[in-house]
Amino acid sequence: MSVDTAHPDPATSGAAKTDAIHRLRRVGHHGLRLLTIASIIGIALIAMGFFKFTDTIAELRATETTDDVDGIVALTGGYQRIDQALALLEKGVGERLLISGVNPSTSGAALRRATGTKLATFACCVDIGYEALDTIGNANETASWIRQRGYSRVLVVTNNYHMPRSLLELSQASPDVTFLAYPVTHADLKTETWLADPVALRTLFVEYTKYSLARLRYWSGTKTASGLRADAGGKSPMTAIVH
């Protein structure tokens, strides 16, 4: 007795392979379309958020009611911020000024000479913080200074584009303290000339990204480093140095 072995029909096998290839192509095209649409939506949302961020910065105004301010904090990043904070202090705004995030190689005397401030002002009322490595560090260094002084209303001097993230970090580190904005402005964001300036565009977009990540970090409850020099070196954080 013989047994016949069934062999697949080559035509049928070829058609099945072709159908499978067509299905894969359709799935690939569909996936590519979805990815393209998602990318366009993502870029549009980022662009909308970015321009909303720049509009917010453009509307920032320096606080006018500074009579009841306890102290001033200037976040380093340029002498113009420090100059403005020192000018406010000499006008009688606040009891003391903290300059946060100063490089350890920069002495109080060097800062005084660079800003042309009176020796008496530095001697009586200026504290220099060498601990902060970044904006989070600024917030934690400022929080320590505020606790030492018992302040409840603090004026914040920094660049306008840096102000939203600074206020966010400061409020998280010192939730019971009222922080008032005193932005330092380098460019008029109410006009569109900054869009043609690659440096300004890059600076603003980088800051927008950092601000968005900071908001996401607090929303998700993600823990982060203290941003303090002593913590990074495994030592106990130091308080701001008084000069």
Q: pLDDT tens, 188-219?
A: 666 667 677 788 888 899 999 999 999 999 99
Mean of the per-residue pLDDT values of the chain: 83
In a domain, 121, yes or no: yes
In a domain, 97, yes or no: yes
pTM: 0.80
Per-residue pLDDT reduced to its tens digit, 23-39: 667 766 777 777 888 78
- What does the buried/exposed string (b/e) look like for 84-99 if buried means 16 or more CB atoms within 10 Å of the residue's CB? bbbebbeeebbebbbb
In a domain, 42, yes or no: no
Domain count within the chain: 1
In a domain, 234, yes or no: yes
Listed in order, strand segments (DSSP E) in 71-210 are 71-75, 96-100, 126-128, 153-159, 178-184
Element (H, E) at 242: strand 241-242
In a domain, 170, yes or no: yes
| Domain extent for 236 | 71-242
In a domain, 34, yes or no: no
Domain of 199, CATH number, reads: 3.40.50
Residue 159 amino acid letter: N
